[in-house]
Amino acid sequence: GYTYSGHPVAAAVALKNLEIIEREGLVQRVKTDIGPYYAEALKRLEGDPLVGEVRSLGLIGAVEIVSRKGTNERFTGKEGKAGPVVRDACIKNGLMVRGIRDSIVMCPPLIITRAEVDRMVDIISRSLREVEPALRALKADD
């Protein structure tokens, strides 16, 4: 069978996974502890001149990248390119994120620690600094 078609082995693994999530209280931990911490940690990025908006829900987060803070002006002429540029820098610095248009999106595991959240935010911040000249050059090419 196919992976998502009720194959008995895949179904058994999925059930065991749900059992572990419940036993370890991972959903409750995300709701009451690490999720709120993650949201606050991501907000530290709001002061960056390239960050237009930071948003999160639980452990799903996104950072919108803009060329002009306050107006949320995009890197026009190259719209949709800022996210992948930042993504590549994050990966080079040891953090896997998804670059979508002018945003990067993160979805860490339910077992992430506060120290790992802090490291994640530090890598994003460092990556933004590294790519700012390249992004500004994209803006100049309009």
Domain ranges of the chain: 26-140
Cα torsion 57, 127, 113, 44 to 10°: value is -60
Q: Which of these CATH numbers, 2.40.50.140, 3.90.1150.10, 3.30.70.2500, 3.60.21.10, describes 26-140? A: 3.90.1150.10
CA nearest to 91, candidates 59, 138, 123:
123
- pTM comes to 0.86
What is the predicted pLDDT for the residue at 98? Answer: 97
What is the predicted pLDDT for the residue at 79? Answer: 59
Contacts 24+ apart (CB under 8 A), 77-81: 77/138, 77/139, 77/141, 77/142, 78/138, 78/139, 78/141, 78/142, 81/138
The pLDDT of residue 6 is above 80: no
What is the predicted pLDDT for the residue at 19? Answer: 97
Residue range 85-93: mean pLDDT, rounded:
97
Q: Look over the chain and give the mean of its residue pLDDT values, rounded to a whole number.
A: 90
Of the given ranges (3-17, 45-59, 123-137), which has the lowest mean pLDDT? 3-17
What is the predicted pLDDT for the residue at 55? Answer: 97
Q: pLDDT confidence of 37, banded at 50, 70, 90?
A: very high
More confident residue, 68 or 38: 38
